[in-house]
Amino acid sequence: MFKKILIANRGEIAVRIIKTCRKMGIKTVLVYSDADAGSLACEMADETIHIGPSPAAQSYLIQDKIVDAVRQSGAEAVHPGFGFLSENPVFARRLEAEGITFIGPNPHAIEAMGDKITSKKFAAEAGVSTVPGHMGLIESTEEAVKIANEIGYPVMIKASAGGGGKGIRVAHSDADMAEGFAAVKAEALTAFGDDRVFLEKFIVNPRHIEIQVLGDKHGNIVSLFDRECSIQRRNQKVIEEAPSPLLDDATRKAMGDQAIALARAVNYDSAGTVEFVAGQDRSFYFLEMNTRLQVEHPVTELITGVDLVEQMIRSAAGETMGFKQEDLSINGWAIESRIYAEDPYRGFLPSIGRLVRYEQPEEGDQGDYTVRNDSGVREGDEISMFYDPMIAKLCSWGETREAAVTGMARALEDTHLSGVGHNVPFLSAVMDQERFKSGQLSTSYIKDEFPDGFRGLEPSEEQKDIFITVAAAMNEVLAEQAGDPSERTDWTVLIDREAHEVSLSYDEAEDLVISLDERDLTLSEIDWRPGMAQFRAVLDDEPFTAEVKRAPDGFDIRHRAARARVRVLTPSTAAMYQRLPEKVAADTSKLVLSPMPGLVVDIPVTVGQEVKSGETVAIIEAMKMQNILKAEHDGVVKAVGAKAGDPVAADDVLVEFA
């Protein structure tokens, strides 16, 4: 077994690999860029080596620097994690030539499966069902439009070297194809240094299901069953679960058999994932094979008990797999929510900055569910513009899918972040939706359920009870702290402008009793004091956590996806509040604002130009993604506020219409 491993990655996955190496008694060396100096991964590694500036193209993607770090440290092997050089056959071959072990599949498997065009052809020859499409290289937009018409819209445009949801567009018309083809080529060149693009038929209302495979260097290959990854935005997975609620035993076995056959055809000898697009009728087609560890691997580990990072290391060291297919089974259900520094209220756009507060849920057995939180950042760390904005992979396990969903909802309640925008409210919304609970998923889920964007959910009656009792309890604590002599027990609680008359008292156990609408609600086990961002308590025997913040005239309270301004007032003051006119939002209808911090790629309009609704007026690049901003109505350009190459902040004015 290896004595020392170099980790050619960063963030959460570097932390994950270090944890397994510690368990195995293996020393770790971590390479890091300027942006990652002092990171959690750097703190945890046994040794660290600086490899350059923050941009990945100047640090993590430079093979010479990785090899030099291996030589400098004396490491025997390299674990590439995911992304960066993890699926680069040239890198794997170079390590092999240098006498350094690559912890991943053999270079032939990476080459055969890593390129999407090659893998499609390979899968078809191996008898794996594939989606209709054009696997050859496409040189021009005109050729792309012609091929798309032959395949039949809708058509997916994909970068051959793509990954992580980047370099993908769906075209529904010739116009979409013309615009999307150019955008995908540009994104692919920026993100992967390879602008090759291919086309395939887009399956309507599809589901994304994948099979985890594992092989060793002695010809043993097993399936560790399936994961469903259908909850996506911008073609990037957001919520994953194992197993899939769609599959029956027969379909699960058929998919597993195909995945193993494909892996066996290339002598696969590590952890890898065969991805399928599935119809609601359980038909399935090969999508691609990821020849690396997947972001969502924890859910497979939770239902099988297999440490995939450990198995990758053991396989690379030449060990024989210690179990067979018949030894594996599915135990319970697991869900993973990817917590990102992105603002769901602004179209899920990336949010960068300092993570001012980060309170994590307690890991381990929580009674009816188990929590696992794989995170690569700490409170006070910077979310950098140079890398993927993932903060954590929050996982829950339960004996049933219902238990896992309930556990995830509670774990999200116990997660508090501030300083950057984050998607925890959105993830909570999905857990509370009946459609998700029923397992009726598709890759268009977010678009279907939130067609006008995410605005949160209206509070349920149970959540209104939480808002009222939390506000009343905080008001009591603050009054006691201030020495309020009034001892008032009757209040009016406003949830925004909705009034609720309440009366407060204490029972024999000194729990707070709130009389509301001829009901008595008991709030016990209160865990809150002024300054705390989370209010924990038990309401009528149901534990909950709410996010709270004092406002000048009340409290801002969020429970899961519902939030409101809540005020505890005397009845006379409440009556006056309800007569106040509502604040009118500023009119920005004539402005095109930058939706995020980024770099202006192009503003293809000029002052005085007539613009039609739907025309592109600006292109902003952030997190290696190009965001195309279009006019929402016809108009004449009055002013242009930026030019190509300019850095812009969120809400900067790019174009103003007369």
- Residues recognised as catalytic: 288
Q: Which two tokens stand for residue 647?
A: 């850095």
Torsional sign, CA 288, 291, 295, 296 = positive
Roughly how many angstroms between the first and final C-alpha of the chain, as a whole number?
70
Residues 6+ apart with CB under 8 A from 192: 159, 161, 162, 163, 166, 167
Q: Which two tokens stand for residue 655?
A: 């174009």
- State the pairing for strand pair 101-102/77-79: parallel
DSSP category for residue 254: H
- Residues linked to residue 499 through DSSP beta bridges, in sequence order: 494
10 Å Cβ neighbour count for 389? Answer: 21
List strands edge to edge, sheet with 155-163: 133-134, 197-201, 155-163, 166-171
E-strand spans in 306-441?
333-340, 342-343, 349-350, 353-354, 357-359, 364-365, 370-375, 382-383, 390-398, 416-418
Identify whether the C-beta of residue 103 lies closer than 8 Å to the C-beta of residue 8.
no
- Residues linked to residue 158 through DSSP beta bridges, in sequence order: 168, 198
Q: ∠ CA 17-222-304 to the nearest 5 degrees?
A: 60
Question: In whole angstroms, what is the distance from residue 224 CA to residue 304 CA?
Answer: 7
**Cα within 13 Å of Cα(377), Cβ side:** 27
Residues 6+ apart with CB under 8 A from 376: 10, 11, 12, 13, 14, 15, 39, 40, 41, 390, 391, 392
Nearest by Cα to 224 from 205, 242, 204, 245: 242
- Block residue for tokens 């998607």: 423
Instruction: Please report, for residues 75, 122, 266, 539, the alpha-carbon distance to residue 126 in angstroms, rounded to integers and kept in the order given.
Output: 38, 6, 10, 58
